[in-house]
Amino acid sequence: MIHLINKSGASVMLTERGAGIVSIVVPDRNGVMGDVVLGYRDEESYLADGPCAGKIPGRFANRIDGGRFTLDGKEYQLVKNHPGYQLHGGPDGFSNRLWKASQISDTEVVLTLDSPDGDQGYPGNMHVEATYTWGEDNSLTLSIKATTDAPTILNLTNHTYWNLDGEDSGSIFNHVLRINASRWLATSEALIPTGELAPVEGTPMDFRTAKPIGRDIKADFPALKYGKGYDNCWVLDGAPGLKLAAELSSTASGRRLEIWTDQPAAQVYTGNWLDGSPVSKSGRPYRDYDGVAIECQGFPDAPNHPGFPSCVLRPGETYSRTIIFKLFA
């Protein structure tokens, strides 16, 4: 495990398995420290866990329809880990690999991973670097860079589950969420994008004004029935570049989270299938809806939708993305 700590005593724990976030310990409104991310009791539990808790999935986060795509006229068949699609880069994706950590200081670490040509069906030898920096203001910055020696596709994110009342506090239905997005990606029943950028207005997908996560989660709306809750991608408003993607808050603890990114979209997953996950740090099993993941990323299934932002990376180019988690109380 890798420990980052700032002068206030607030801390982050990371694992080389999947370059994942294991814990983030920050004060509530009364100054009481608490761990606000879901995670497991032992490091071994991070191998092949269904929730992908805290980790960096890849090479391609989210879904690719049929587990196949065409690039420069050549079709590639990926290793599928779900019927009809590949999720999060396949059964042995980046989230299950041991990354190599180099701790720079008490507040910074660089984790690297080399992915060979043909890995899970993807072309090109790829080198990835993920840098976590823990600020004195309780902000955690994740900077991800990658290069390749052959044309390929790439979509990287972080899959942390948040519970601002504490990781052992149960349902996040009372957490208040705002998403800076006026459109979302409509999907099939398998949660594969149809290609439609649908307006959120007048639907349960509208989080432009902050509202409790649980307010509409059981609404009679197809997307919510497909995933047993929110498991959808929002198209972030605003010009390209670093912007505020989402805000999450809890009136119970007084904690608040801002997520900033230069990614074009954010997948919000309300932990709809957490039942049966490994034993938590607190020793109890997590239940459905005990945490919410806000995954800043490129568009899912982008290689199969020419109208979506490109996810192609070519030799000589550097993939560079930033996600910042800012915590307040």
Q: Catalytic pick from 129, 167, 247, 295?
A: 295
First to last CA, the chain: 27
Dihedral angle of Cα 229, 175, 181, 202, to the nearest 10 degrees: 60
Q: 194: Cβ–Cβ under 8 A, 6 or more apart, which residues?
A: 185, 186, 187, 188
Please give the Cα distance from 132 to 129 (Å, whole number): 10
Note if 129 is an active site residue. no
Please give the Cα distance from 68 to 122 (Å, whole number): 10
Please give the Cα distance from 238 to 245 (Å, whole number): 10
Please give the Cα distance from 281 to 295 (Å, whole number): 22
Residue 6 counted as an annotated binding residue = no
Residue 160 counted as an annotated binding residue = yes
Burial code (b: 16+ CB inside 10 Å, e: under 16) for 224-242 equals beebebbbbbbbbeeeeee
Which ranges constitute the DSSP H helices of 163-245?
Answer: 222-227
| Alpha-carbon 192 to chain mean position | 17
Please give the Cα distance from 91 to 67 (Å, whole number): 12
Q: Catalytic pick from 16, 159, 167, 175?
A: 159
Please give the Cα distance from 264 to 104 (Å, whole number): 30
Dihedral angle of Cα 221, 206, 55, 13, to the nearest 10 degrees: -130
Residue 88 counted as an annotated binding residue = no
Whether 36 contacts 328, CB under 8 Å: no
Note if 159 is an active site residue. yes
Taking the CB of residue 168, how many other CB atoms lie within 10 A of it? Answer: 16
Q: Helix, strand, coil: what percent of the chain each, to 5?
A: 5, 45, 50
Residue 96 counted as an annotated binding residue = no
- List residues with catalytic annotation: 159, 295
Binding-site annotation, residues: 62-63, 159-161, 231
Binding-site annotation, residues for beta-D-galactose: 62-63, 159-161, 231
